[in-house]
Amino acid sequence: MQIVLFGPPGAGKGTQAKFLSEEFNIPHISTGDILRENVKKGTALGMKAKSYMDKGELVPDQLLNDLVRSRLEEPDTKKGFLLDGYPRTIPQAKALDEIMDELNRKLDAVVNIDVGTNALVKRLSGRRVCRGCGAPYHIVMNPPKVADVCDACGGELYQRADDREEAIKNRLAVYTKQTQPVLDFYKKKGVLIDIDGDREIEEVKADVINALEEIA
C-alpha cells in the first residue's frame, strides 16, 4: 500500500503512522524526522534546512523532492510506504507524481486527518518527542508511563524548538497558505480520504485502518 498521510501540524500523522506502519508492515517515511536527523548530524542538507525549520517555514521544494526521490528508491519501499509530511506544496505534489511515474508506482490513497485550529495549538504546545526514536507524546493527552522517558525505547523526551508559541502560529499559517491547496489537487484525482481527527487516538486509528482495509 502506497499512502500519503496528510494534515496540518499536530493532526496526529506521526501518532497514526506508528500504528499503520505496524498494521500494514510498511515503512513510515517522515520528511520532518529525516530533516531533524540531518540537522542533528550536521549534514549539508541539515545545515541548509535548519533555519527554515526553526522558524516554522517550509524548506525549499527541490531539497525535499531530492530527499523523497532517493528514499523511495530504497528497496524497503517496494512493499509500500507511508509518506508523512510530504507533499506540502503543489510543486511537491507534482514532483511526487513524476517520481511515482518513474518508479512505475501509483499512490493508493491520501489520508487527510482533519483537526480544528484550537485543538492543534493544544496538541503542539504539549507535544514531547523522543530523542531516540522520534515517537510523539503529549504531556496531558498522551503521556508516557514514566515522565520524560519514551515507553518504546527508553529515550529522553524533549520539546521541539518549532513547538513553541511563535513557531506554532507560523506553521499553522504556512499550512493554510501553502499546504491546504494540495488537498484539492488530490481530491480531483479521486484518492482523498477524509478522517475526523478531532477524537481519541484509538478512534482515529480504527477509522483510518477501516478506510485503508477497504481499498487494500
User: Which of the residues are catalytic?
Assistant: 13, 88, 127, 160, 171
User: Using CB under 6 A, which of the segments 28-36, 70-78, 113-121, 197-205 binds ligand AMP?
Assistant: 28-36
Site for ligand AMP in 64-123 (CB under 6 A): 64, 85-86, 88, 92
56 binds ligand ADP (CB under 6 A): no
Burial of 210 (C-beta count, 10 Å sphere; 0-12/13-18/19+): exposed
Task: Select the residue interacting with ligand ADP from 204, 207, 208, 212 (CB under 6 A).
Answer: 204
Residues whose CB falls within 8 Å of the CB of residue 60, separated by 6 or more in sequence, listed in order? 48, 52
Q: Is the bond leading into 91 cis (omega within 30 degrees of zero)?
A: no
Task: Select the residue interacting with ligand ADP from 9, 56, 87, 134 (CB under 6 A).
Answer: 9
How distant, in Å, are the alpha carbons of 62, 89, 99, 163 from that of 116?
30, 20, 32, 17
Binding letters toward ligand AMP, positions 39-58, x by CB under 6 A: -------------xx--xxx
Residue of 64, 67, 85, 123 lying closest to 7 (CA atoms): 85
d(CA 17, CA 32): 13
User: In which residue are the cell numbers 488530490 written?
Assistant: 186
15 binds, among ligand AMP, ligand ADP, none (CB under 5 to 8 A by kind): ligand ADP
d(CA 25, CA 19): 10
Task: Select the residue interacting with ligand ADP from 107, 183, 201, 209 (CB under 6 A).
Answer: 201
Site for ligand ADP in 110-149 (CB under 6 A): 123, 126-127, 136-138, 141-142
d(CA 30, CA 86): 8
28 binds, among ligand ADP, ligand AMP, none (CB under 5 to 8 A by kind): none
Q: Which positions touch ligand ADP (CB under 6 A)? A: 7, 9-15, 123, 126-127, 136-138, 141-142, 199-201, 204
Task: List residues near ligand AMP by CB under 6 A.
Answer: 9, 31-32, 35, 52-53, 56-59, 64, 85-86, 88, 92, 162, 171
